[in-house]
Structure 1
């Protein structure tokens, strides 16, 4: 490996890396500095390096508030993978934890749309067996499925609000429906 170079834009953000042996600096690239192999590895492993006054500048470490916010977002993302626990006071047979990933949301929305359109459950049955996160089937009535869909929608929206940084508290991962 040859000499490493970092090209940067007018704001100092690194735009490209070059190597004198493998990928020489193009003639039309003017804003470039020489960097060591160690600096090149550091730039690749820790995004955010910039160039100022002809020198490589490491990224500013995140503040405690930024770390806390990042942890909250990661917790919300994990909650999406963990599912929503449903407790029904009127139909205990549907008590379980249900997947709320994007495919599951699409399934629930499709079924709920049919119910709201008056076409009933898929296959025309009076009840519908819907799987929990582990794959076990639970018998839903039209009313309990609509309540479940509304609870899922509310919970997912709350998690997405945390992920978008417009909410600062995780919602409770369980809900009770009639």
Structure 2
């Protein structure tokens, strides 16, 4: 996890379960990025932005703690505002607001990767998100869609294999 994010979580007295969740999504993002780098070394992605986004995507739950254990999207805009108020640039703070809505026309491949990491860490597969990411990947690499699909499917399956362990790790931390 980026040092600046760990320090911010400490300053905000973030709930332990939130910190654990952000760490797990950050780790899944690392695996996703590493796998994509192996599959498509020519792919240009802002790795540091994706890792920052994964490590902060739910930070707004500090302001909306009920969303730690229940549904809700108030944390998204609150997280973006929180990051901006702590001096993080808009191009990084945006991930807190975009991770739950990947269908926006302005979503970058980095936004989609943060959203994907937030799903795949627990083994969840979301077809429309995968399709959007696949479109962006093939658009950037020029690779054949079916070949890219098989590689992405394999990568997401491998990351998802550890979902039970990750879920148990997260559950071990109090809300």
- TM-score by length of structure 1 reads 0.27
> Quick check: which one's strand share is greater?
1
Of structures 1 and 2, the one scoring higher in RCO (CA 8 A, sep 6+) is: 2
Q: TM-score, normalised by structure 2?
A: 0.27
Bigger radius of gyration: 1
